[in-house]
Structure 1
Amino acid sequence: MSETFQLLLISTWQTIYMVIISTLLATIFGVPLGVLLLVTDKGQILQNSILNKIVSTIVNIFRSIPFVILLIVLMPFTRLIVGKSIGTTAAIVPLSIAAIPFMGRITETALREVDRGVIEAAQAMGASPFQIITKVLIPEALPSIVSGITITAINLVGYSAMAGVIGGGGLGDLAVRYGYQRFMIDIMLYTVAILVAMVQLTQFIGDLIVRRLSKNR
């Protein structure tokens, strides 16, 4: 096995690892965040203007911070969580924190697309807010939510490459250390090709799942 192939293999696995875990965490925390943003909004089933305003402001603040700056700002917090501020596992912390507000807004938008009449029908039948969320809102918006997860994962591929600039590992780190600093253009081209392939594959899988969910509705 050539050294170049081995470097590409390790770096690709590191990027996949970062993206999968970050996407999973963004989904686990971002979807409930999106639900909270919707149901506490004006005219919704759990209207709470103060809570909605606070959460919405926090989400907007984190979404407005460029990812490279967020990487640096979160270094002390990352060190507190995983014991170090650089490396592949450490990069998951800022990647997830950047993706959670993004996923929250996408989920909120997806839930707003649900027909208001369906929600009112559930309320008329005596459904509780929890039942409306779990039995009506999320199932009806699931294809759009999955589409949002796909978009989030694709964004995280790009973010993971940026994380490599400050020692986050993965293909971004390989491109900087070998492709840029050592003028190894072939490695630079290989990393770009792999990143493009990862994005294409992620989009294909996401679209496939969305189509199947849409058919089963």
Structure 2
Amino acid sequence: MIHMLNTTDISKLSEAVFETFNLLFVSAIISIPIGLVIGITLALYEKKIFTKNRYLIYILSSLVSIIRSIPFVLLMVIIIPFSFNIFGTSIGFIPSIIALSIIGIATVSRLVEQAVIDINPQIYDLTRSLAATKFQLFKDFIFVEARSSLILAFTSSLVSLLAYSSVVYIIGGGGLGYTAIQIGYYSPVGNSLMWASTIIMIFIVQVIQILGNIFSNYLNKKKRGH
């Protein structure tokens, strides 16, 4: 399909790829660290490692569940007034990043929570017997035991963010979704552009998934080697 594109289409496609990577990078930078902290906190509370702030944990868990229950298109619409009141804009990059980051945090939180919960329960008993601090618990036990699962969780989160980024064109976010649908599908001469955008999205997803699997398998073998 690429050879059927003219110079203008290739320029639009290149710009869309840049916009997509920009959306993915910024939203991942925001959502992965925050989601990691929330996910670990929820998991350790469930494992009764954290026993304080019960109401705060309940609120966090409920918010994560509610956000994941809202269709992403509706979430973007809900974000518009907030973005306008705080940042003075209701369309474009900023509201798109806000929406992607919110759904990203919720997604990462749940995947990280599950990865940490799945750790061998004896690890938690060991940390209690050694009177390990919360930092030592994470650094010396959780990180070592769950790191391969965490990489897979981050990989799945990135794939999800990429999928969500394909619809932020609705609020002016641009990206490959815009070239595939607005310029490609709705244009009588945009069929090639639509297919090219779709193929690029598939390629990006496969690269993310393959790299995530390779890194996860490497860490898993390294853990077993020790």
Cross-structure match for 1:66: 71
C-alpha change, 1:140 and 1:81, in structure 2 (3 Å) is farther
Cross-structure match for 1:198: 204
Q: 1:85 aligns with which of 86, 90, 101?
A: 90
What CA RMSD, in Å, does the superposition of the two structures yield over aligned residues?
Answer: 1.7
- Aligned pairs for 1:144-155 (under 5 A) are 144-155=149-160
Cross-structure match for 1:10: 15
Cross-structure match for 2:55: 50
**Cα displacement (A) at 1:34:** 0.3
CA deviations 1:72-131 (Å, max 9, x no partner) are: 100122335544222234311100101101110100100011112122122212212332
TM-score, structure 1 normalization: 0.93
Contact 2:79 2:95 in 1 (8 A): no
Cross-structure match for 1:161: 166
2:197, 2:86 → 1: CA distance?
29
AA matched with 2:222: N
C-alpha change, 1:154 and 1:123, in structure 2 (3 Å) is same
Cross-structure match for 1:213: 219
* Mean CA deviation greater in 130-139 or 90-99: 130-139
Cross-structure match for 2:145: 140
Identity of aligned residues (%): 29
Contact 1:161 1:172 in 2 (8 A): yes
* Mean CA deviation greater in 46-55 or 105-114: 46-55
Cross-structure match for 1:174: 179
2:136, 2:91 → 1: CA distance?
43
* Mean CA deviation greater in 111-120 or 99-108: 111-120
Q: SS where residue 180 of structure 2 aligns?
A: helix
* Mean CA deviation greater in 61-70 or 177-186: 177-186
Contact 1:78 1:94 in 2 (8 A): no
2:74, 2:15 → 1: CA distance?
26
Cross-structure match for 2:101: 96
Q: SS where residue 74 of structure 1 aligns?
A: helix
Contact 2:76 2:95 in 1 (8 A): no
* Mean CA deviation greater in 72-81 or 56-65: 72-81
C-alpha change, 1:81 and 1:30, in structure 2 (3 Å) is farther
AA matched with 1:5: I
Segments of structure 1 that go 5 or more residues without pairing to the other structure are none
Segments of structure 2 that go 5 or more residues without pairing to the other structure are 1-5
AA matched with 2:217: R
- Aligned pairs for 1:32-47 (under 5 A) are 32-41=37-46, 43-47=47-51
AA matched with 1:148: A
Q: SS where residue 89 of structure 2 aligns?
A: coil
Give the total of aligned pairs.
Answer: 216
